[in-house]
Structure 1
């Protein structure tokens, strides 16, 4: 894993595919590379594990008024290296899991971070796992009671606060480059199944750049912390830490007409379900059968909500 220790931000505001008019940009004054960089330097970090709380990453931050996708923007930067960040005030073609579009109106945090993991290809799912663990840990330290919803959602009380999309490039079975994309609802409009940072912090300052800068900084520190922690701990220790934040544990799910229970996640990112069945011919006792589900093969979904 290649990364920098220290602090650096490139104060750069850019516009792709045409920028927003000046009066549309005014609410984002301060939500720029310098503002995010200063928030990264000042934001408190969790004290556990101790060695991580004393380190700060180095980022090269680029902030855009509008791009199709921050993930694609980073891939298109031929000189982007580990620690390069693309942040957009809005995306016109944001990416979600399984080819879905991530709706990205102004008021949310939409960012992507370039990494150079040098991990084996079979660990690609762990990029999402460690990102989710790191961001949720950082959010909790800031008083946001977030959980992880498998495989890639950040939730509070069962409602979606944000999502993660990781993309990798391989060379001879090694992940040489990866882009981690994250979208967080701050004070943008959300569906009934969503929730915003503003909802959770009870702030009414809809047009302040302050929470946007803070959330962006928390996301960046969370990604870095999660990847760093996974890189320096064994797989079981990390998965135990990840599962401690998993909101789906012990949740019943229906799969092919059978009721199963979520019991964990494997190191390869598969959801583990348990089916208790009876085989009296053999033992007369229940037998635990484990079922492993890949991301994309099954969706845990969100409860349907109604409004009066």
Structure 2
């Protein structure tokens, strides 16, 4: 957001301010103040004018400037009413050298999840992809996915949803005590890098926010913030998600403890399908690099532990 407009909004949020007072405080002309006010109104900020000056009445918009205003994290926001894929757009920005940009959309028409699976992303959800350039090696990159899962779960919990994390990249709402769940959000991380360093990461986060469950594919076994706790202010939700993500990406040592606290998978009997074969057992932990540790029993009754770094994880009902 333009810094002058940001300063005007901050001044107006504290009460009515006259145009001349704003001009003096910002060292600009009164005409420039009027122009900035009109541009803010065009961006759907509700700015009232009266005998005592201008006043910010409300911030109800869901767009880039609205999300950036009051955001306590160093991201610029590129907003789209509709886009094919926020991850695709974020990859374009990353390839052009961008960093700390959040691509946000009201709907996606070509959203995708892991393994190029189709992802339903109707209007009313939170569909955001963040471009980052972390000082990481490729084996450490999964920590960003775990950080995004923690951030998403925490934002959902603040909105009143009993959000938990299912390994490797889903935020879910538990159903009972047997490990069953309904999917609330998914995360897709893509990166470019060399053997010893990550060049850029794109972390895509899709949350079924103000979405009717009937509008989601029945086979997805999905839920939404609306279904669990009622509609949420998406502007505030995105801000809290981005702030929490920034908090954890800048303190990676805190990611795993926070992830474990919110994990639904730990302690569950699971089946993980991976390219090298299927692993069945009890999920007991995650490694420092985010791999799921599964305690297994072979046909001879011997116990062992396997660390799975990638695969489709299914929660099984207890034996």
1 CA distance for matches of 2:271 and 2:189? 27
Give the drift of 1:254: 4.4
Question: Which of these two proteins has the greater Rg computed from alpha carbons?
Answer: 2
Aligned Cα root-mean-square deviation (Å): 3.0
Q: Does 1:186 align with 2:209?
A: yes
| CA gap 1:86/1:254 in 2 versus in 1, 3 angstroms | closer
Q: Is the 8 A contact 1:80 1:114 kept in 2?
A: no
Q: CA deviation at 1:152?
A: 0.3
Which residue of the other structure, out of 63, 85, 90, is the alignment partner of 1:74? 90
Aligned partners of 1:187 and 1:223: how far apart in 2? 21
More deviation in 192-201 or 59-68?
192-201
Listed as ranges, the gaps of 5+ residues in structure 2 are: 1-5, 10-38, 44-59, 175-180
Secondary structure at the counterpart of residue 102 of structure 1: coil
Deviation at 1:141, TM superposition (A): 3.9
Confirm whether residue 212 of structure 1 aligns to residue 234 of structure 2: yes
2:307 maps to 292
Q: 1:265 matched to which residue of 2? A: 286
Following superposition, which runs of at least 4 residues in structure 1 exceed 3 angstroms of deviation? 7-13, 254-259, 276-279
Tell me the alpha carbon deviations over residues 17-43 of structure 1, each in whole angstroms, 9 at most, x when there is no partner.
Answer: xxxxxxxxxxxx7111122223x53xx
Deviation at 1:287, TM superposition (A): 5.0
In structure 1, C-alpha distance between the alignment counterparts of 2:152 and 2:239, rounded to whole Å: 10
* Cα distance change of structure 1 residues 81 and 259 upon mapping to structure 2, 3 Å threshold: closer
Q: Judge conservation of contact 2:156–2:225 (CA < 8 Å) in 1.
A: no
The yes-or-no answer on 1:175 pairing with 2:198 is yes
Are 1:74 and 1:80, in contact at CA under 8 Å, matched by a contact in 2?
no
Q: 62, 68, 80: which is aligned to 1:37?
A: 68
Once the two structures are TM-superposed, the CA of residue 90 in structure 1 deviates from its matched residue by 1.2
- Give the TM-score, by structure 1 length: 0.71
Deviations 1:43-96 (A, max 9, x none): xxxxxxxxxxxxx31221111111111011122236553221111111111120
1:57 match: 73
Partner deviation per Cα, 1:135-184 (whole Å, 9 max, x = no partner) = 22343344332111000001112211101111111145211211110000
Tell me: CA distance 1:278–1:161, structure 2 relative to 1, closer, same or farther (3 Å).
closer
C-alpha distance 93-259 of structure 1, shift in aligned 2 (>3 A): closer
In the superposition, the TM-score normalised over structure 2's length comes to: 0.69
Aligned twin of 1:20: none
Decide whether aligned partners of structure 1 residues 181 and 102 sit closer, same or farther in structure 2, where only a CA change above 3 A counts.
same
Residues 257 and 128 of structure 1, relative CA distance in 2, 3 Å threshold: closer
CA separation of 1:36/1:263 partners in 2, compared to 1, >3 Å: closer, same or farther?
same
Does residue 1:99 correspond to 2:121, yes or no?
A: no
